[in-house]
Structure 1
Amino acid sequence: MTRRIIMSMLTGAILLASTLLGANPAQAAGVPAQAADIPAEFGTDWHDPVTAAPPVTSPDTKSCEVTVAEAQFRDFTPYRGTYSPPKECGVRWSKVVLRLDGKVKGRQYDRLGYLHVGGVEIFRTSTPQPSPDGIEWSVEKDITRYSPTLRSAQPVEMLIGNVVDNTYTGIIDVKVTLTFYTAEKRTAGVHTPPADTPDRILTLTDGTTLTTPRNTERIIAEVYATGSGGGCEEYWYLTVPGSAPYSCQAENGPYREVQIKVDGQLAGIAAPFPTVWTGGWSNPFLWYVVPGPRAFDIKPIEYDLTPFAGLLNDGRPHRVEVSVVGLPEGRPGWSTPVNVLVWQDDKRDRVTGGLTVHRVGDLANSSNFTPGSQHRVDTEGAHRLTVAGYVDTSHGRVTTTVSRSLTNSSVHRWTDGETTDALDATWTDSETITVDGRGPAKTTRAHRTYTMDGTTTLGAADRLRTVLTLGDRATVVETRGGHRTTWSRLDDTYTGDATYTINVPRDQRHAVGTTSERYRLYGSSGCHDHSLQTVQGVLTEDRHRC
């Protein structure tokens, strides 16, 4: 039994096409179960999906709710509709919150989905796998940054690609609403200002061409990069060089890097987050209640392209391309839609500037295969990029410098037949952005670390066991003139241990499993520390420490 057969988390599902506070599925109802309530093994139903991530906070102001999509997904036919902004809440909002409520029952794989408003991707998600009796879940996301698009009527497109037949019976039923919070006063003397948002949200014409307004002074590109689609790129972190006897091979091994280029020049690099979907690591029993980090709210990679603003502001179309380093030529499996957020200088018709620094380090990527009774691939990867540029604005010259460095280190071990398959991997993505203009220079330093440490073992009587720990960590510090102004520290850790019998009907799997998540977010804005634990699909701990 190879991983190609065992793993099934998104088979057949092809995706067509933010802030630190991410997804917030509905919190557990009632009191966590006592020991006497825990079954000996998984039954036909389990607790609805939950996550320890913090809820999206909302201001104490007037609000309006709009339903943007309501659909049942049975196949790969997108839902199409029309969005109109709420008349009662104006067009200047302090916050906009998206909420997805979903339900599904029967048997179904996990599926990927997206939501576009006016061609802008505002949400990307995946789904939980259902129980025969049915589950419900919800996700919230702060989408205030997309306010420029939401201020006028727009076409809507949503898809959660699905397959329903005699075997896979789960119809995915979802409703998506947007809640708009105004800047109206609720308390005498207290005013919630409108959010500081971009002036425009652009998408790439024909997928590769960008024309910015000629008075653009700041540019952020965001890329919703996901490896998916039922093939080996769902498990890109497990691929091995072609010389190694393994079911998922890639010429240069598992190193992946998401790059963005402007007119052929490398403009940004990033480490993709190693998302594990809710059928991942051969074992859906790991994810029935607590999903892996980011699985329900797939965060975009952000690139600060402001150093290139002087080049892009000439009124001509420019080529912007996203590619994935390490992806074998001709292999599908990555989707990389791009939004471009633009801030304009309203006191000038034209902002000029130039690129002053473009320093690209050598890409280090080595994967060494060592054969044996337990085969081994050791991978080391690293890359650096520094770019700087200036714009001459109505408030003076502003210089932006962006430095980013990536590393990846992993050890992959497996036996013949892949009856034992293990990975211990770490990715780091460090970025420093300095904006120097009128007043003290502002510097934002972000250090992100992603970890994965797991083993799948297929033992006697076809009993498959997976033990896995995932980590999503980040430290962000902002300084002005060398003095710290804001900071945050995130540590989202998932652990799971689940065993079941493969190659038998569902009611003969005799599955057992424990999972837990602890989500800690500390900083100048406050504290969130939330722990969840489950046994055999029953929620046994739901604890807040802050």
Structure 2
Amino acid sequence: MAVPSARLALLLCLMIPATVASSRSLRKSPANASRPTTFFEVDRPLRRSSGRCSTLLLSASFGSTFNKPPATNAYSPPRCLVKAGGRASAISLAVLEWRAACRGAQLDRVFGVWLGGAELLRGSTAAPPPNGIIWSVSKDVTKYASLLAAAGKPTFTVYLGNLVNTTLTGVYHANVTLHLYLRRTPPTKPPPATAPADLVVPVSRALPLDGGLWFPIQSAADVASKSVALPSNAYRAVLELYVSFHQDDELWYKNQPGYQNGPFREVTARVDGVLAGSVCPFPVIYPGGIYPLLWRPIAPIGSFNLPTYDIELTPFLGKLLDGKAHELAFAVTNAVGVWYVGANLHLWLDPGGTATTAGLVSYVAPAAKTTSSKSADPVDTHYHATANRLVSATGWVKSSYGNITTNSTRTFALVYLLTFETLDLTIVADTGVVATDGAGGVMYSAQTHGNFPLGWVYQQNSLTVTHGLEETTVAAGRWSSAPPYRSLRTTQSSLVEDEEGGGKSWGVRQTYRYNATDGCYFRNVTSSNYSVVSDHSNELCVKGAASVGVGAVTAALPTVNLP
């Protein structure tokens, strides 16, 4: 842990959070001894008013499964989709539901779900109390519509590495179900470049194997790679990264400078050795992380459904459209094992031609800038660190849609401050994609600003962990199919403290607000020990929210020629 050794001992043995606003004792409410406790991650509901059909894809139990072959099943498109013509464009919304239960002592474990080698979902299980748990995850998987409609019986795969022994007796039982909402009249021509991709190519390890299909990265020197050949008529390419961190790097974001390679990590993606994108990941806390009582029954943000990261590869298509296999490689800066990294390559294909042409216009990717310092005071030591990175590329692609120029820019900045009593970490990430025609008209654009604060405050008998995710996207253009505006702001404050007599009490408060031009959702939920004591939600939009814009993140960047 990124704290002085005495502080580390206190946090590991005591681990008691307190909200800065209040450290009052919370009402103790033990879990029902006979009924399992429902754990949940706060998220907005995914649904349509009609047209739903559901298909159970796999039902399996995961006992002693660590480094064993994953559970598999042959997949066929659901009957309702076949009756609707079997086309991917018939899918209005696709939701993958993971529903699981466990009774007995167990740790939180990472799991992954794949279809035809393409990863659909990655998440963590919850660490169950003695009476057991149930929980579910619902993820929007509409962007994989071409996979869901594909014939040929691709393999549906689930891996959950679990260990069972005399101490850890819990077995995870899971059902995975696909819910499809179908359009009554599927469009014959979905919006170019922004509808779900025509082809999703897995960038993962292949079956058969023992373990997950992700690549394990054990150190900063490790590079995982796979060769992929692209169809000659691709006109847009997006690499979707799945990332999770475990073992010695599970809490990488709290490392003091000089310990475990410090508090800076980035996942890099390269095309034939050239840096194409860099991601400083959202600092996910797993349900057993820091101290398990902090996350019962409300799970940490992003833990049941880990976020993914999109890297625009369209500017690099000039390197990739020669019919040859090209290397996509991944590494983790400063990694201390183990990281699991995998990817899906989303490709849009020109319906009006068999081959496109492309070229790179400009490229800039200076080395990441990092700083670190330690104050001289031996009693009240302060550790400070920063990191930032810019990657930007512009390229053109000529297809039956015309000659389209795409600029892609990714930036992030990390600021870290650790004292004897507090941790403050903020990651700010900006991404921008703008595609224009020869006359300068915008075909599609999306500008996203993200802010990910994390901190804790330690007091004599309590510790508070606060965590947040703020992300705003503005989309535009003739081809755009996304809501013009959407914003998600969620903040979580988790407290555990000592009580007289040696017991502990804990609680979580989380607010969640999603505002978009196509709908809104708000929830404010508070728990005390295992009980939810207040829970309010509505689908009202905040007046004027959709008029708030996000500044462009691609202005006035220097350019250099690609070597």
TM over 0.5: same fold? yes
Is structure 2 residue 537 aligned with structure 1 residue 544?
yes
Is structure 2 residue 355 aligned with structure 1 residue 341?
no
Q: Separation in 1 of the partners of 2:74 and 2:179?
A: 16
2:445 corresponding residue in structure 1: 443
Distance 1:156 1:276, change over 3 A: same
2:229 corresponding residue in structure 1: 211
Distance 1:2 1:389, change over 3 A: same
1:46–1:537 contact (8 Å) kept in structure 2: no
Q: Deviations over 1:22-77 (max 9, x none)?
A: xxxxxxxxxxxxxxx9536667577411233111122522x332222211111223
Distance 1:313 1:397, change over 3 A: same
1:387 corresponding residue in structure 2: 393
Distance 1:346 1:254, change over 3 A: same
Find the residue that maps to 2:50 and give its secondary structure.
coil
Find the residue that maps to 1:298 and give its secondary structure.
coil
The residue type paired with residue 308 of structure 2 is P
The one of 196, 209, 234 aligned to 2:250: 234
Is structure 2 residue 28 aligned with structure 1 residue 39?
yes
Find the residue that maps to 1:146 and give its secondary structure.
helix
Where do residues 247-286 of structure 1 align in structure 2 (5 Å cutoff)? 249-251=259-261, 253-281=262-290, 283-286=291-294
Q: Mind listing any 5+ residue stretches in structure 2 that lack a counterpart? A: 1-5, 14-25, 206-224, 541-563
1:139–1:296 contact (8 Å) kept in structure 2: yes
TM-score by length of 1: 0.83
1:47–1:539 contact (8 Å) kept in structure 2: no
Q: Deviations over 1:256-283 (max 9, x none)?
A: 12211111111112220100000112x1
What's the CA shift for 1:437?
A: 1.8
Q: Separation in 1 of the partners of 2:518 and 2:361?
A: 35
Q: Separation in 2 of the partners of 1:315 and 1:529?
A: 48
Distance 1:289 1:59, change over 3 A: same
What's the CA shift for 1:191?
A: 8.8
Distance 1:71 1:487, change over 3 A: same
Where do residues 163-312 of structure 1 align in structure 2 (5 Å cutoff)? 163-184=163-184, 196-204=195-203, 207-228=225-246, 230-231=247-248, 233-242=249-258, 249-251=259-261, 253-281=262-290, 283-312=291-320
Q: Separation in 2 of the partners of 1:223 and 1:323?
A: 12
Q: Deviations over 1:192-216 (max 9, x none)?
A: 9989321111123764212110110
Q: Separation in 1 of the partners of 2:405 and 2:139?
A: 32
1:66–1:178 contact (8 Å) kept in structure 2: yes
The one of 376, 384, 395 aligned to 1:378: 384
The residue type paired with residue 53 of structure 1 is D
2:114 corresponding residue in structure 1: 116
Q: Deviations over 1:346-389 (max 9, x none)?
A: 21111111011111234211121235223321011111121000
Q: Separation in 1 of the partners of 2:381 and 2:312?
A: 41
Q: Separation in 1 of the partners of 2:198 and 2:228?
A: 16
Find the residue that maps to 2:251 and give its secondary structure.
helix
Q: How many residues align?
A: 482
Distance 1:368 1:162, change over 3 A: same
1:52 corresponding residue in structure 2: 42
Q: Separation in 1 of the partners of 2:226 and 2:356?
A: 23
Q: Separation in 1 of the partners of 2:309 and 2:504?
A: 36
1:130–1:288 contact (8 Å) kept in structure 2: no
Q: Separation in 1 of the partners of 2:383 and 2:404?
A: 46
Q: Deviations over 1:396-443 (max 9, x none)?
A: 1011001121100010123xxxxx5x3101001011211102773133
2:16 corresponding residue in structure 1: none
Find the residue that maps to 2:472 and give its secondary structure.
strand
Q: Extract structure 1 runs of 4+ deviating beyond 4 A.
A: 1-8, 40-47, 190-195
Is structure 2 residue 468 aligned with structure 1 residue 471?
yes
Is structure 2 residue 323 aligned with structure 1 residue 315?
yes
2:116–2:202 contact (8 Å) kept in structure 1: no
The Cα RMSD (Å) is 2.7
2:418 corresponding residue in structure 1: 412
Q: Separation in 1 of the partners of 2:234 and 2:7?
A: 52
Distance 1:267 1:4, change over 3 A: farther
Distance 1:273 1:7, change over 3 A: farther
The residue type paired with residue 137 of structure 1 is W
The one of 498, 507, 514 aligned to 1:521: 514
1:489–1:523 contact (8 Å) kept in structure 2: yes
TM-score by length of 2: 0.80
Q: Separation in 2 of the partners of 1:212 and 1:255?
A: 33
2:114–2:157 contact (8 Å) kept in structure 1: yes
The residue type paired with residue 353 of structure 1 is A
2:477 corresponding residue in structure 1: 480
1:310–1:353 contact (8 Å) kept in structure 2: yes
Q: Separation in 1 of the partners of 2:515 and 2:112?
A: 30
2:448–2:471 contact (8 Å) kept in structure 1: yes
1:94–1:192 contact (8 Å) kept in structure 2: no
Distance 1:40 1:292, change over 3 A: closer
1:143 corresponding residue in structure 2: 141
What's the CA shift for 1:6?
A: 6.6
Q: Mind listing any 5+ residue stretches in structure 1 that lack a counterpart? A: 9-36, 243-248, 415-419, 502-507
2:37–2:131 contact (8 Å) kept in structure 1: no
